Amino acid sequence: MPPGNYYHFGLANALTKSVLKYYMPEDFPSEIKFDINVDGPPLTKSSGSQFWPILTAVEAPFHTEPCIVGIYHGNEKPLDSNDLLQYFVEDALKVCGSGIDIQGHKISCGIGVFICDAPAKAYITDTKGHNAYFGCSKCMREGEFKVNRLTYPETGATLRTDLKIRMVSQFPLDYLHLICLGIMKKLLQFRVKGKKNVRMTNSQLKLATAHLMSLVTSIPKEFARKPRPLKQVNRYKAPKPR
């Protein structure tokens, strides 16, 4: 799969493993919904080597771990997202149309939601990115460029039409990029490095940093990223669980 390689494990295989892991045969559900995640994490800091896995997890009233449907590796992402998703789409049509058979139990299947961050969502849906003039995936509002920033000031814009494949409702908004990085990080940057009338004084900055750093020992081990001093705000990333 230019410019890298792709291995497909199979959607039905992944769903079967999930059901067998979380249900006893006598409790097999008659119907399941599964969520899909696609992302492109880098593997090293010194090269472009990256994975693009397609993951699925069965929706349930309890926690379920994701299973691999397919995985791509290369020094760049696949040239065409249609290539990356081709085998998944073929599998999804079969699974959603005929269901899966596990130990003689027929289980109907349907897609729940696609959980992707904003860049990955724009890539797999072949749409504009979140920082484009028409970057909102929920409404038709055109962005306005103000003070060197793209803004979307209107809240009553016309909503986008949800197509048969539910390109709107099945793709939830990305909290990490829109809120953690898109709003909170910018507010912190204003308070730390902004103009004099909005930024904190040195004494306020030291006090706030001291409070922030005192939380380091209380951060659960599941979170790989610990708090940094406020002077390093430009290096801030969103909280990332292990």
pLDDT over 70 percentage in the chain = 98
Q: What is the pLDDT of residues 132-150, one digit of tens each?
A: 999 989 999 999 998 888 8
At residue 239, the pLDDT reads: 66
Tell whether the model's pLDDT for residue 240 goes beyond 90.
Answer: no
Q: Name the nearest CA neighbour of 51 among 5, 111, 118.
A: 5
Q: Name the nearest CA neighbour of 13 among 53, 65, 59, 68.
A: 68
Which tokens is 127 given? 């749409």
Q: If you compute the radius of gyration of the chain from its CA atoms, what whole number of angstroms results? A: 22
At residue 154, the pLDDT reads: 83
Partners of 153 in the β-ladder: none
Q: How far apart are CA 110 and CA 5, in angstroms?
A: 28
